Structure 1
Amino acid sequence: MNKKTLVVGASLKPQRYSNLAINRLVSHGYEVVGFGLREGKVSGVAIDTHLMPYKDIHTITLYLNPERQKAFYDYIISLHPERVIFNPGTENPDFQNILKQEGVYFEEACTLVLLSTNQY
């Protein structure tokens, strides 16, 4: 069941959706790692500020706007995720085309909704 998830754009601010997503993922029993601008912890999850060579990432959930995503295309692909979730406001047809060429499944969805409806 454990779909190890990388939250890209993780925030320490409790009002941010990426923060809420980390909290909910942890409460649902998922293994979570995070990448963001500031080091810290959210629900016991360390937020890294350097790109780490994570292993066994099933899902990457994005909380970066399309312009900021460009710097992470190669990194995200290098992790060989099974799925990339484009949360509302992160939709990016250019990156989605690259993912499609790489054989990576993606969806435009809200991680919080997927969790609350048992579709994650």
Structure 2
Amino acid sequence: MSETTLVLGASLKPERYSNIAIGKLVDNSLNVKAFGLKSGIVKGVDIDTELKPYKNIDTVTLYVNPQRQKDYYSYILNLNPKRVIFNPGTENPEFYDLLIENNIHAEVACTLVLLATNQYLNYSENE
């Protein structure tokens, strides 16, 4: 698979959904990048603590609450992903609008459910 997902809000704590998502993405043979507040490794994926100018990011999956997302708007827009997934608790209509204006698909969904139901790679950029 050539699709690369950036997990924004990655955690080293195994009980956190971002941590579980990293594992499930890796298990599904997807390329994974991760950004979090603490560096470390989850399922072979380095968690970066600096925002890096990654290339060819297909999906950004958010695990950051809406108030904190504002700090990442420009960064995510500059990555120019095909879509941004708003996991439960990250819903943010203001950011949806900004993404749509920039031709980026905003998807309100759960990464773990999408993976479990084989829908993760099946999305329409025009929804």
TM interval, shorter chain, is over 0.9
SS of residue matched to 2:33 = strand
Q: Deviations over 1:52-88 (max 9, x none)?
A: 0100000000000000000000000000100100000
SS of residue matched to 2:64 = coil
Alignment RMSD: 0.6
State the TM-score, normalized to the length of structure 2: 0.93
Between Structure 1 and Structure 2, how many residues are aligned?
A: 120
Q: Between the two proteins, what is the percent identity of the paired residues?
A: 61
Tell me the CA shift for residue 3 of structure 1.
1.8
Amino acid at match of 1:40: G
Amino acid at match of 2:42: V
> After TM superposition, where is structure 1 displaced by more than 4 Å over at least 4 residues in a row?
none
Query: For 2:34 and 2:50, how far apart are their aligned partners in 1?
Result: 10
Q: Deviations over 1:9-30 (max 9, x none)?
A: 0000000000000000000000
SS of residue matched to 1:20 = helix
Aligned residue runs from structure 1 range 1-120, under 5 A: 1-120=1-120
State the TM-score, normalized to the length of structure 1: 0.99
Give ranges in structure 2 of 5+ residues lacking alignment: 121-127
Query: For 2:3 and 2:109, how far apart are their aligned partners in 1?
Result: 16
